[in-house]
Amino acid sequence: MIYMRISIILFLALSLLFSGNELLASEISIDKIDYSVGTSWARFPCNPDKSVDVFYVYPTVFGSKDSNNMDITLSEMREKVESSLLSQIGVYSGVANTYAPYYRQISGALIGNMKTLPETPYYKIAKSDVLDAFDYYIENYNHGKPFILAGHSQGSMLLIDAMKERMSDELAKRLVGAYLIGFSVLQSDIDKYSWMRSAKRSNDTGVIVSYNTQSSTAKGSPVLLKGAICINPLSWRTDSQKVSKEENFGAVFFDSDGKVTKDIPKYCGAYIDLKSGALITQPPEKLYIGIFPDGVYHLYDYTFWYRNLQRNVEERVDAFAAKHE
């Protein structure tokens, strides 16, 4: 059983607008997911032999206009999650036991107005799942280990909520780092929550790594909000210094099955636009960007900087271990 019955079904007829698309009336089950069951996890270590864990939340892989939340029991949805995992989780899995829960994410077709999205019942279902999974992980699987939080896009958005609502100064003592990539962590949240601290260098721990990749001419990114913090994954600095492609250890491209198709050192450089909070780059080729505005390289937030991220996770894990010897 994936679901534990609460036996409550809500019938909602809403007229919320997201990017000009009207949501249709929907039936929403608010059953809880049973995270004590192995099938509720996309990744669960049979032999958690590493000294550090990573709690990873996958990005948006569900884009239906006919359903508002992903049905995690469907094999085709699980295959999409698996493909997404394979293209990102390798950044962390070399040094950390991986815990990645299935959750009923909101459809990408509905995402548009980020200010009103968190108040919708659809988003609250996704959020409840991630919070429940995190609670279960901490209470039953973590066993006091240091851990990493990691996500991308919608996954990072939900982990920001988890940091606000589930983290504490005490729990944050075990946080190696939070890689909340592809969504905006706001400076106002950093100022409000004592356990939310932005990374300033390559080896500080208990900090948040966050950025959104786009070109210098890009406009209208739905994931880049006013007041977003940013760190450059090539230099691990937060200033506007331009870092050349020589510092890029490798952009790693994957196919739809999560297999590496290209691993290209010195692919592109980057700098931070301090005014917008964007990570600015220009890839050497024309790339598919999906539904995003021209120049918004959201789909490549991990791809472009993959090897640098991989090395940095190792560095922060080592720094955490050295600090707590």
Tens digit of pLDDT for each residue in 266-312?
Answer: 999 999 999 999 999 999 999 999 989 999 999 999 999 999 999 99
Check whether 217 has a pLDDT greater than 80. yes
Q: 82: which 2 tokens?
A: 């698996």
258, 263, 269, 272 alpha-carbon torsion, rounded to 10°: 20
Nearest to 57 by CA among 207, 163, 145: 163
Report the distance separating Cα 147 and Cα 55, nearest Å: 7
End-to-end CA distance of the chain: 42
Q: 206 and 168 in contact (C-beta within 8 Å)?
A: no
Phi, psi (degrees; rounded to nearest 5) at 101: -80, 145
Residue 181 in 3-state DSSP? strand
The predicted pLDDT at position 35 comes to 98
What percent of the chain stands above pLDDT 90? 82
Edge to edge, the sheet with strand 53-57 lists 41-43, 97-101, 53-57, 147-152, 175-181, 207-209
Q: b/e per residue, 206-241, with b = 16+ CB within 10 A?
A: bbbbbbbbbbeebeebbbbbeebbbbbbbbbbbeee
With beta carbons less than 8 A apart as the criterion, state whether 314 and 323 touch: no
pLDDT at 113: 62
Whole-angstrom Cα distance, residue 83 to residue 259? 8
Furthest CA-CA distance within the chain: 57
Residue pair 104/70 in contact (Cβ under 8 Å)? The answer is yes
Q: Give residue 29's pLDDT.
A: 54
Q: How far is CA 85 from CA 80, 264, 298, in A?
A: 9, 20, 16
In the chain, what are the helix, strand and coil shares in percent, each to the nearest 5? Answer: 30, 20, 50
Return the pLDDT at 15.
27
pLDDT at site 18:
32
Residue 64 has a pLDDT of: 77
pLDDT 10s digits, 58-84: 999 988 777 789 999 999 999 999 999
Mean pLDDT of 213-237: 97
Determine which of 56-60, 110-114, 210-214 has the lowest per-residue pLDDT on average. Answer: 110-114
Q: Are 180 and 253 in contact (CB under 8 A)?
A: no
Q: Cβ–Cβ contacts within 10 Å for residue 37, how many?
A: 13
Q: Which of 177, 192, 214, 181 has its CA nearest to residue 292?
A: 214
Residue 33: burial class (beta carbons within 10 Å; 0-12, 13-18, 19+): buried
Average pLDDT in the chain: 90
* DSSP run (H or E) holding 165: helix 154-166
The residue count for the chain:
325
Alpha-carbon distance of 97 to 37, in angstroms, equals 18
